[in-house]
Amino acid sequence: MKNKGFTLLELMITAAILVIAITGLLALFTGLSSLNQNSKNITLAMIACQDKMEEIRDSDFSTLYVNYNGANFDPAGFPTADAEGAISINNTDPDLLEVCAAVSWRERSNRIIGEDVNLNGSLDGGEDLNGDNRLSSPAEIVTLIGER
C-alpha cells in the first residue's frame, strides 16, 4: 500500500516559494505606497504654488518686487515644519518680472525634495545646486508678469 501525501521536503519547498512570493508582494505594496505619497505631496505643493501665484498676480505691479522677492510661505496640507515655499523675482527687466514660486518638502523617509535642504524658505549657502540663484524644486511655477 502506497502512502499518499506530501513529504517534509516538498512542504519546505512550498513554504519557501510562498515566503518569496509574499515578500515580493510586500515590497511592491511598499513601493506603491511611497509613490502614492510622493504624488500627493507634489499635488499639494503645486496647488500651493498656484495659490501663491494667483495672490501675486492680484497684487499691484509696482510693489511686487518689494513685497514678494525673497518671501516664503507655508504650503497647506503638509505637517508643520515639513514644507516651505519660496518666492523669487528676477527684475533684470523692470517692465517684465520673472516670478518663481517653489515648494520644498520632507518625505516620510526624511529625504528633502527640492533645494531648500533646511526648509527655511531662504537661499542659503550650498542650496543652489543648479546655479539659477533661486530655490528650485520639482514643484515650482515660473511665469512672467508685466505691468497692465
The whole-number mean pLDDT for each consecutive block of 10 residues of the chain, a chain of 148 residues, reads: 78 95 94 90 96 95 94 92 94 94 93 92 89 92 91
CA–CA dist 92, 46 (Å, integer)? 26
CB atoms within 10 A of CB 146: 9
* Reported pTM: 0.80
**Cell numbers representing residue 85 in the block:** 515655499
CA–CA dist 125, 88 (Å, integer)? 16
Instruction: Give residue 67's pLDDT.
Output: 96
CB atoms within 10 A of CB 105: 26
Instruction: Give residue 114's pLDDT.
Output: 93
